[in-house]
Chains A and B, each alone.
Chain A
Amino acid sequence: MDASITMTVDGREHTLTVDTRTTLLDVVRDHLNNWSPKKGCDHGQCGACTMLVDGRRVTTCLSLAVAQDGRDVVTAAGLADGDQLHPVQQAFIDQDAFQCGYCTPGQVCSAVGMLDEAGGADLSDDEIRERMSGNLCRCGAYVNIVAAVRQAADGAPDGRRS
């Protein structure tokens, strides 16, 4: 069954008609051709689909698109300010925090949301690991991911776009 929804994705408003079964992840990828968020497990277990919805990181493979009417959605592709990368994106490059890169957009969105949740608190590496544990990396690039999140945390204490 179809339903009409309006939502903002990476700063642009979209009004769409979607089958009620469609997830937010599938709308963004298949209707808006934004392939930044990735489909991994499709069961909420891997974090590859993480986006920021109304500023908070969520697993979008478990979020029905029809329930997002009026929401503001940001993917990893929408974090940069023009050519200026978000500090978390830059940190992932600086620290070589990806191998195959498939999980990276979800890791980046999760890190941005997580740093905001932490509110500038001084995070130990163990706490970064715990707070990022919803994002799995099959390459096992965790050591560099932790280093990247640490760089972003130290450079931009509240994790917001600078």
Chain B
Amino acid sequence: MIPFAYSRADTTADAVRAVSADPDAAFIAGGTNLVDHMRLEIATPRTLVDVSRLPLGDVIDTADGGVAIGASVRNSDLAEHPAVRSRYPALSTALLSGASGQLRNLATTGGNLLQRTRCPYFHDPTTPCNKREPGTGCSALGGYARDAAIFAATPDCVATHPSDMAVALALYGGVVQVLGAAGDREIPLNEFYANEDPSHDTVLAHGELITGVRLPPPTGAPSTYRKVRDRESYAFALVSVAASLRVDGGHVADVRIACGGVAHKPWRAARAEEALRGAPASAASYEAAADAELAAADPLPGNEFKRRLLRGTLTAVLSELSEEQ
């Protein structure tokens, strides 16, 4: 780890000012990902600005019936929050399926959105990786690609985004609230992640601080999150599915699907959703919808299994949701 200066920000404006003014500065909150990267010298900030004690630690009911989640809210607290458990159950389940109790007590909402890929080559400084070191190439192409994306990958990077929380936030139409040197802005979660330049995971500019996430009011449709992984607990998703489904008169009245472990971002399955609107609420419809989505998949040698895994998981989740109604 290289030497660095440390300061604690008292206000969000101070934090933004401090990091914006210094290209070698970074925000730190829980540190569960950044400290590890600093130890591996994947990240080499010369100044850390601690934002973990800013007054962004609340979950607040909004006037429209949604919630506003502060960026400093701990993952464990968010999972336990009564409003989240009752109105956004897939978010609670997703949070509790991520990491371990010790890590969820440290990890924050803002930091979770900014955690970086677990692609093994990203974490191994002896190998080429465009995300870690732009222009060096992608070792997962032709290498170990079990964890890699099957949607929207590029010849430069096939990494997946590891967050469970973000998949559930994408399902519920989350909007990321950001403060930068030029002021506030809101970024829908669907537009938050980028992969044109693999070294930039998100559309955030240097010095922009996540201050929270706003969730619109729940639609009232039952929702759930299912994660499939190599061991039963404490592992990243091979694939995951967050879905909500409302059945009316035996037909699909409303459906939303977001998938994890398959792209550089939470993957909204727009093709599957389109195929399902108005369709009979049946296993055959769910399988056809999964196939419609998977028509756009482009797996690598080594992760073709994700096609069948996603098809099965999606079908099972939608069947489970329809059986509840």
* Neighbouring A residues of B6 by C-beta, 8 Å: 1, 3, 20, 64, 66-67
Does A160 interact with chain B (Cβ within 8 Å)? Answer: no
Does A104 interact with chain B (Cβ within 8 Å)? Answer: no
- How large, as a class, is the contact surface on chain A? 20 to 34
- Among B35, B38, B50, B233, find the residue whose CB has the most chain A CB atoms closer than 10 A: B35
Contacting residue for A110 out of B35, B76, B101, CB 8 A = B101
Q: Mark B80-110, 1 if CB is under 8 A from A, else 0.
A: 0000000000000000000111110110000
Select from chain B the residue with minimum beta-carbon distance to A106: B102
Does A17 interact with chain B (Cβ within 8 Å)? Answer: no
Q: Mark B25-69, 1 if CB is under 8 A from A, else 0.
A: 000100110011011000000001010100000000000000000
- Given that A59-B106, A64-B35 are contacting pairs, would A131 and B101 also be in contact in the complex, using a CB cutoff of 8 Å? yes
Select from chain A the residue with minimum beta-carbon distance to B53: A67
Listed stretches A41-49, A81-89, A93-101, A150-158; interface member: A41-49
Interface residues of A in 51-73 (CB under 8 A from B): 56-59, 62-64, 66-67, 69
Is A1 a contact partner of B233 (Cβ separation < 8 A)?
no
Contacting residue for B3 out of A1, A59, A117, A130, CB 8 A = A1
* Neighbouring B residues of A64 by C-beta, 8 Å: 6, 28, 31, 35, 48
A126 to chain B minimum Cβ distance, whole angstroms, is 9
- How large, as a class, is the contact surface on chain B? 20 to 34
Contacting residue for B102 out of A3, A42, A50, CB 8 A = A50
- Given that A1-B5, A21-B1 are contacting pairs, would A134 and B103 also be in contact in the complex, using a CB cutoff of 8 Å? yes
Contacting residue for B106 out of A20, A62, A117, A129, CB 8 A = A62
Does B305 interact with chain A (Cβ within 8 Å)? Answer: no
Is B35 a contact partner of A23 (Cβ separation < 8 A)?
yes
- Given that A44-B32, A62-B35 are contacting pairs, would A67 and B102 also be in contact in the complex, using a CB cutoff of 8 Å? no
* Neighbouring B residues of A44 by C-beta, 8 Å: 32, 36, 102-103
Is B48 a contact partner of A20 (Cβ separation < 8 A)?
yes
Contacting residue for B105 out of A21, A56, A131, CB 8 A = A56
- Given that A44-B32, A62-B31, A131-B101 are contacting pairs, would A67 and B234 also be in contact in the complex, using a CB cutoff of 8 Å? no
CA of A132 to CA of B101, assembled, Å: 8
Does A113 interact with chain B (Cβ within 8 Å)? Answer: yes
Contacting residue for A67 out of B1, B52, B99, B100, CB 8 A = B52
CA of A66 to CA of B100, assembled, Å: 23
12 more contacts with CB within 8 A, not counting A67-B31, A67-B52, A130-B233, are A20-B4, A21-B1, A56-B76, A58-B103, A58-B105, A62-B31, A62-B103, A62-B106, A63-B35, A67-B6, A113-B105, A130-B232
Q: Would you list 8 pairs from A and B whose C-beta atoms are within 8 A, ordered by A residue?
A: A1-B3, A47-B102, A50-B102, A57-B102, A59-B103, A62-B106, A64-B6, A129-B233
